[in-house]
Copies of this chain bind each other. A is one copy, B any other.
Amino acid sequence: MSFTVTILGSGSAVPTNNRFPTSHFISCNSRFILIDCGEGTQFQMRKFNLKIQSIQIILITHLHGDHFFGLPGLLSTMHLLGRNRGLKIIGPEGLENCLRSQLEIGQNRLDFEIEFIALAKNSTHCVYKDKVIEINTFPLNHRIQTQGYVIKELPGELNMCKELVENEKIPLEVIHQLKAGKDFLDSNGMFWKYKKYTLPPKPRLSYAFCSDTKYDERIIESIKGTTLLYHEATFLEIDSARARQTFHSTAQDAAKIAMKGKVKKLLMGHMSARYSNPNQHISEAKLFMKNVEFAEDGMILKLEEI
């Protein structure tokens, strides 16, 4: 079981030679999720040896081009490489029509099903859940409807206490029940209490994604206690007026949300093309949050190691 985030694009609306527009690839307990899909996302996946066909779910935060102009190309390539298994795309209303019209104008068909889930403005609910993960969405505060997402592991099985398993030679069928947190009466009439034989499961890891947004403390409730918070940090404090005007955040804004949300680590991104490196962003964020990093294209973050 593992939970990793690969940065495909860490730049903002104007791309640079080093920073493609926003896209993150998440591998979480054999679930493969793409969040946002700026132009060139498919090139970045190829460059960083990630399998385009592995993607099961695409989450789109909002309909500014630097967050979704890579989608039609990615879907075309999935088709051309022979995809037939379905794909789920979750994002603001209007995305489906926009994508379908771009593909249909060239008379391109897709040989796989896409399930579009359209999110109404200010959606705050679970958008996906299976046995091992759940994904919740919440509103951000940007110029147009923008949704944040939190991907969380679900509680795993309990861990058996190894010493007791060996000393008491516990049968396999009993172990299954105890790990699931159930007491068990076996065929010999012996009663096993799960609390005696198990230890708590490993901590649940979680990844919160906030792009793009101005500083808004209403976000804190949704990202509280996450392992890793990605929060855009387009600007430095010296350009905070520009940040307010364009509904974006500074590095300090991002760090304050991370601190107040008591997350374990903050990952900043969406750097304006006006800055040449993230040193100053990191210095400014460290005033509020020690464990902080700035995203770079190709960077891989392992949530177990945070």
Contact = CB atoms under 8 A, between A and B. Distances in A.
A80 B144 contact: no
A274 to B, nearest CB: 11
Contact of A94 (B46, B65, B105): B105
Nearest to A68: B106
A73 B63 contact: no
Interface string A77-95: 1001100000000000011
Given A39-B70, A65-B73, A76-B65, A16 B106 contact: no
Interface residues of A, number: 38
Contacts of A76: 13, 65-66, 69
A47 B95 CA distance: 30
Tell me how many chains of this kind the complex includes. 2
A103 interface: yes
Contacts of A46: 15-17
A184 interface: no
Contacts of A14: 77, 80-81
A98 interface: yes
Nearest to A40: B40
Contacts of A15: 42-43, 46, 77
B13 A65 contact: no
Residue of A15, A46, A69, A94 with most chain B CB atoms under a 10 A cut-off = A69
5 contacts: A17-B47, A62-B106, A65-B76, A65-B102, A69-B73
* Pairs A-B, 10 closest by C-beta atoms: A39-B73, A63-B106, A64-B106, A69-B73, A63-B105, A65-B76, A40-B40, A14-B80, A98-B105, A94-B105
